[in-house]
Amino acid sequence: MVVFPDSSDLEKIVYRPGIEKSIFTEWMTANRLHKDARDLTYAEFPTKWAWHAKEKEWRPRRGGKRSIGRIYYAHPASGDSYSQNTKKSLALVEIDNLLRKGGKSLKNFDGMPLPDSNAIQGLTNRLLNEELNYDRCSLQTECSELLQKLNVDQRKAFDAITESVNGQLGKLIFVNGYGGTGKTFLWKAITTSLRPEGKIVLAVASSGIAALLLPGGRTAHSRFHIPLNINNESTCNIKQGTFLAELLNRTSLII
């Protein structure tokens, strides 16, 4: 772990002398250089080897006596002591989500750690929580007001779409209209109608500005992990068993 003030120059920190050596990296070095070191696990290592902070290296303990040492190790079954790694991974997930909104990810930055999937496995799906965490009472009130203002064509589209959702028909419905004809108003009426029922509605648009007009809107690239540069063989970067995959399985409607 590297600790530094938030006002520090990151480039200077990255190239600070000696930063490339840590207790863990030098443990791997000791394993590479000394055959007898390979008989010990990372947690057992301090019992026969001592860490010399000034030289930043592991050395065999003198006299071969066993000693009690401390090393920052956490096994997945160790309960609370493992929570620090979980917190770090969750923080990295949040940072990655923010970066993806701008078309980037943690993988775009050299040396940046990635979330430990084992540490966050089994935790509550944050993506699901976001889509279900709406004030249902206020949405019902808003929906009643919006439905009264729908024109004939909007009402036809509203009925067709909600009928498909409620009947789990899985229809693909294209709503066409020039700018200013009330499509966004229709989307608001539909989302406020379905979300109070606990249904998940994902509202996406091709641009960030258009997404801001939709309730809970996101860009399609951000929501579905669509590659920026696509070809005939491109696919969305959605992996089986992830939070996003579970969210899509639970989704009732995509606008």
As a three-state string, the secondary structure of 141-155 is HHHHHHHHCCCHHHH
pLDDT-derived band at 74, boundaries 50, 70, 90: very low
Q: Which pLDDT tens digit goes with each residue over 11-51?
A: 676 666 656 677 888 888 889 888 888 888 877 788 788 88
Q: Does 217 or 23 have the greater pLDDT score?
A: 217
Please give the pLDDT value at position 128.
83
Over the chain, what is the mean pLDDT? 80
pLDDT-derived band at 79, boundaries 50, 70, 90: very low
What distance in Å separates the CA atoms of residue 44 and residue 85, rounded to the nearest whole number?
20
Can you name the residues that pair with 29 across neighbouring β-strands? none
Amino acid (one-letter) located at 215 = P
Please give the pLDDT value at position 7.
66
Q: Which pLDDT tens digit goes with each residue over 162-213?
A: 999 999 998 999 998 888 889 999 999 999 999 999 999 999 988 877 778 8
What distance in Å separates the CA atoms of residue 9 and residue 94, rounded to the nearest whole number?
23
Query: Which single residue is written with the structure tokens 């696919």?
Result: 235
